[in-house]
């Protein structure tokens, strides 16, 4: 694939950090994101509305600011959803996604504590210190202790433009907390969905569901100059409007061009590394082949030497007048072989 194929089409490349946010991370794209999430969670959950949360304010490390989550949302019914587009493989990717999920869960308790502290201060006009129990509010202490750990479901949805060695070789992997023996779900509030785009190989004509069409579009749209006629659903009209490079503001266009340059550089580095690895593998394969060839030559030489010695041995026995029947018994050769020697 040449550089010109890496996102220079009519539509933004969703595998760039900014391209993904242009398509799904602005207020105007909320309905499109809701459609994608509802297709991913079809039959389990229906999202009617969601709010984008400010991820920069949720970074515990200044080095992580701006890159913690591509999208961090809360639905109208209280679920938290992390949606992340990852273009490049990096080590400990699965551990990092687990860390973000656990941090999102932990913050729910912090948010509950802060909310109830403010409610109590408003009700009593008395500042509440950390030594006070901000959960009481007329409830029994035993009940409030349990209530502080009542969690909303956290979904981690990771769209990956690479193959993760720690996952099965398939497009979609769903993980939940289950009993190891029975596979029964133990806690429904923790859910991760990994989508490995290199394993999505359907052509447009094979995409029968809206879910498949959305995934197909995300994977291929950066190469298109227009939306295919087969994508007739209204959601693709909205996607076409949002993702058209020509519709970007000047500020977003400059930022997107920079993001696209970073993406291209990363792909060049990856391809160079892949080519270097291929050349190394080829060299190792040739060296191994030569070694095997030498071993096979040695084995063939030994075999020829054994045959030559055997022939000389048989001839000597024949010269001594030993009967062929006895030579057969001594050597294990057939009478025809002995006569030919």
pLDDT value, residue 144: 59
Instruction: Please give the structure tokens belonging to residue 112.
Output: 């509950």
At 136, the pLDDT band (50, 70, 90 cuts) reads very low
Segments in the chain forming alpha helices (H): 17-24, 30-40, 93-124, 141-147, 210-220, 234-243, 250-319, 324-331, 335-340
Buried b (16+ CB within 10 A) or exposed e, 289-313: eeeeeeeeeeeeeeeeeeeeeeeee
Rounded to an integer, the average pLDDT of 153-177 is 94
Which residue would you say has higher pLDDT here, 153 or 196? Answer: 196
Tell me which DSSP letter residue 244 carries: B
pLDDT at 232 over 70: yes
Q: What pLDDT sits at residue 316? A: 75
Mean predicted confidence (pLDDT) in 299-325: 71
Select, from the ranges 145-149, 200-204, 247-251, the one with the highest average predicted confidence (pLDDT). 200-204
State residue 282's pLDDT score: 58
Tens digits of per-residue pLDDT, 35-67? 999 999 987 878 999 998 865 444 443 344 344
pLDDT at 192 over 90: yes
Sheet-wide strand order for 154-160: 50-52, 71-75, 80-86, 154-160, 185-196, 172-178
- Burial string for 189-211 (b: 16+ CB within 10 Å, else e) reads bbbbbbbbbeebeeeeeebeebb
Find the farthest-apart pair of alpha carbons in the chain and give their distance in angstroms, rounded: 125
Residue 159 has a pLDDT of 94
Window from 111-125, 132-146, 162-176 with minimum mean pLDDT: 132-146
Say if residues 108 and 184 touch (Cβ distance below 8 Å): no
| Nearest Cα residue to 108 out of 74, 63, 65 | 74
Q: Look at residue 247 and tell me whether its pLDDT is greater than 70.
A: yes
The one-character DSSP state at 26 is S
Tokens read off for 224: 């298109």
Residue positions counted in the chain: 341
pLDDT tens digits for range 83-128: 988 887 878 899 999 998 988 888 876 766 666 666 666 766 666 5
**Across residues 174-185, what is the average pLDDT?**
94
Quote the CA–CA distance of 23 and 14 in Å, as a whole number. 7
pLDDT of 337 above 60: yes
Task: Classify 186 as helix, strand or coil.
Answer: strand
């Amino acid at each position: 694939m040449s550089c010109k194929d890496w996102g220079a089409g009519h539509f933004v490349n969703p595998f760039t950090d900014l391209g993904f946010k242009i398509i799904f991370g602005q207020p105007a794209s909320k309905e499109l994101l809701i459609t994608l999430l509802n297709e991913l969670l079809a039959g389990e959950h229906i999202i009617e509305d969601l709010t984008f949360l400010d991820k920069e304010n949720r970074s515990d490390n200044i080095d992580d600011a701006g890159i913690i989550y591509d999208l961090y949302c809360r639905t109208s019914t209280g679920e938290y959803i992390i949606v992340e587009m990852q273009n490049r493989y990096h080590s400990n990717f699965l551990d990092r996604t687990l860390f973000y999920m656990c941090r999102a869960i932990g913050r729910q308790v912090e948010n509950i504590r802060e909310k109830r502290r403010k409610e109590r201060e408003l009700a009593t006009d008395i500042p509440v210190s950390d030594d006070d129990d901000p959960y009481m509010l007329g409830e029994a202490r035993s009940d409030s202790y349990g209530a502080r750990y009542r969690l909303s479901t956290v979904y981690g949805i990771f769209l990956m433009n690479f193959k993760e060695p720690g996952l099965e070789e398939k497009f979609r992997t769903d993980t939940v907390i289950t009993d190891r023996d029975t596979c029964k779900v133990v806690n429904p509030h923790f859910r991760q969905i990994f989508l490995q785009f290199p394993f999505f190989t359907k052509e447009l004509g094979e995409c029968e569901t809206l879910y498949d069409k959305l995934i197909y579009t995300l994977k291929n749209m950066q190469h298109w100059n227009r939306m295919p006629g087969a994508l007739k659903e209204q959601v693709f009209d909205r996607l076409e409007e949002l993702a058209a490079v020509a519709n970007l503001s000047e500020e977003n266009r400059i930022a997107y061009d920079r993001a696209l340059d970073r993406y291209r550089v990363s792909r060049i580095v990856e391809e160079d590394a892949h080519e270097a690895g291929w050349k190394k593998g080829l060299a190792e394969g040739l060296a191994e082949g030569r070694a095997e060839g030498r071993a096979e030559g040695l084995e063939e030489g030994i075999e020829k030497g054994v045959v030559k010695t055997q022939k000389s041995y048989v001839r000597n026995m024949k010269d001594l007048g030993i009967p062929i029947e006895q030579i057969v018994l001594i050597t294990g050769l057939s009478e025809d072989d002995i006569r030919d020697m």
